[in-house]
């Protein structure tokens, strides 16, 4: 009897549904009898982008599911899974940036051969990318171009984005996770000592930093921040003492979120420059202001900026307050002892 007897026979082409995928490129220029060679490249690159957006969303949704647990062990396989999947997101985003190199093999004149046939189609209508931004934590009030960011989408796409926006994003889940960390409760005196050390470390022309320090870490009501003062203190503690075994994974989590922001920013910046190279100052096919819209998004759409800002409040290792023996044990490999 065959080893695979009784099992479904799966063919490569059927499994990947290649017939559907390879038949899904329908250049508009060919339909009107004026084939433009580079339109095929344009279609395939944007289809690849949307497939990668789907994969990134899949990874982020799985991470959010793990982070929603009421108690997440900071030295657990679950946290390792979170870090691993977010590192995969970073790697995919690097691929998205590199794909722009391929796009730029198309010259502005090549693009003009079919550009006007695309109206009003535009990358601005990528509902998946907008949903991904919301899933990570980009709030509506922090968006550039609020007045028309969903104006060109179909109603079912708007509904999907609104649904994502109604759910807790990754940055909110990160805030809850950081707030649960018990280190600062155990070392209550530590924060007072650190505040004094940080204050003394500032030069005369850095005193303005002290105002920012208290704005971030004092328990005052703030509507603009997504990380609470307690979460901010916990994140700073992780950055300062990341050499301890139990803090290595938490530090990797904070760091990979900064990498996601960096890659998203790099992608937007490269995209902006490519658009400027292709169409100059002309209005985009979707009706946006082209380069100017993209520049606004580059400047404004940093999702994890509050983590990045914590580096303003670091001091040298040699100046760090000493931890109690009990805390050192808890942060070591015998944390459960």
Output the six-digit token pair for 96. Answer: 């998205």
Q: Is residue 295 a contact partner of residue 144, using CB atoms and an 8 Å limit?
A: no
Q: Alpha-carbon dihedral of residues 202, 207, 211, 217, nearest 10 degrees?
A: 0
3-state secondary structure of 269: helix
Pairwise CA distance, residues 240 & 246, whole Å: 13
Structure pTM? 0.89
Residues annotated within the binding site for substrate are 42-46, 115, 285
Pairwise CA distance, residues 151 & 116, whole Å: 20
Q: Is residue 71 a contact partner of residue 180, using CB atoms and an 8 Å limit?
A: yes
Residues annotated within the binding site are 42-46, 115, 271, 285
Q: Is residue 327 a contact partner of residue 187, using CB atoms and an 8 Å limit?
A: yes
Pairwise CA distance, residues 228 & 219, whole Å: 8
CA angle (49 as vertex; 48, 52 as ends), nearest 5: 85
**Each residue's pLDDT expressed in tens, for the chain with a length of 337 residues:** 455 567 889 999 999 999 999 999 999 999 999 999 999 999 999 999 999 999 999 999 999 999 998 777 776 799 999 999 999 999 999 999 999 999 999 999 999 999 888 876 667 688 899 999 999 998 877 676 666 677 778 899 989 999 999 999 999 999 999 998 877 776 778 899 999 999 999 988 887 889 899 999 987 776 678 999 999 999 999 999 999 988 999 999 999 999 999 999 999 888 888 888 887 765 554 445 556 666 766 666 789 999 999 999 999 999 999 888 888 888 885 544 4
Residues annotated within the binding site for heme are 271
Which CATH number is 38-330's, of 3.40.50.1220, 1.20.58.480, 3.90.79.10, 3.40.50.1100?
Answer: 1.20.58.480
């Amino acid at each position: 009897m065959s080893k695979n007897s009784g099992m479904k026979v799966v063919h490569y082409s059927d499994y990947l549904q290649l017939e559907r995928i390879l038949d899904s490129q329908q250049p508009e220029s060919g339909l009107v009898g004026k084939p433009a060679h580079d339109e095929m490249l344009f279609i395939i690159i944007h289809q690849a982008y949307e497939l990668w957006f789907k994969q990134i969303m899949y990874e982020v949704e799985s991470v959010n599911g793990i982070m929603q647990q009421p108690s997440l062990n900071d030295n657990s396989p679950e946290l390792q899974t979170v870090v691993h999947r977010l590192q995969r997101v970073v790697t995919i985003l690097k691929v998205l940036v590199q794909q722009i190199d391929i796009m730029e093999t198309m010259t502005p004149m090549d693009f003009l051969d079919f550009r006007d046939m695309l109206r009003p189609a535009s990358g601005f209508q990528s509902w998946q990318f907008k949903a991904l931004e919301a899933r990570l934590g980009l709030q509506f009030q922090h968006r550039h171009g609020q007045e028309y960011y969903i104006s060109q989408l179909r109603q079912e796409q708007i509904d999907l984005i609104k649904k994502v926006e109604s759910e807790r994003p990754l940055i909110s889940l990160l805030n809850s996770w950081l707030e649960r960390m018990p280190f600062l409760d155990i070392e209550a005196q530590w924060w007072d000592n650190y505040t004094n050390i940080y204050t003394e470390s500032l030069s005369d022309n850095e005193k303005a930093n002290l105002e920012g320090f208290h704005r971030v870490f004092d328990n005052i009501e703030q509507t603009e921040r997504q990380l609470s003062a307690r979460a901010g203190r916990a994140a700073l503690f992780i950055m300062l003492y990341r050499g301890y075994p139990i803090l290595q994974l938490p530090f990797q989590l904070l760091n990979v979120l900064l990498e996601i922001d960096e890659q998203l920013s790099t992608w937007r910046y490269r995209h902006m420059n490519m658009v400027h190279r292709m169409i100059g100052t002309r209005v985009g096919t979707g009706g946006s202001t082209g380069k100017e819209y993209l520049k606004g998004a580059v400047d404004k759409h940093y999702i994890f900026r509050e983590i990045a800002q914590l580096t303003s409040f670091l001091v040298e290792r040699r100046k760090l307050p000493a931890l109690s023996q009990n805390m050192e044990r808890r942060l070591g490999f015998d944390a459960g002892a």
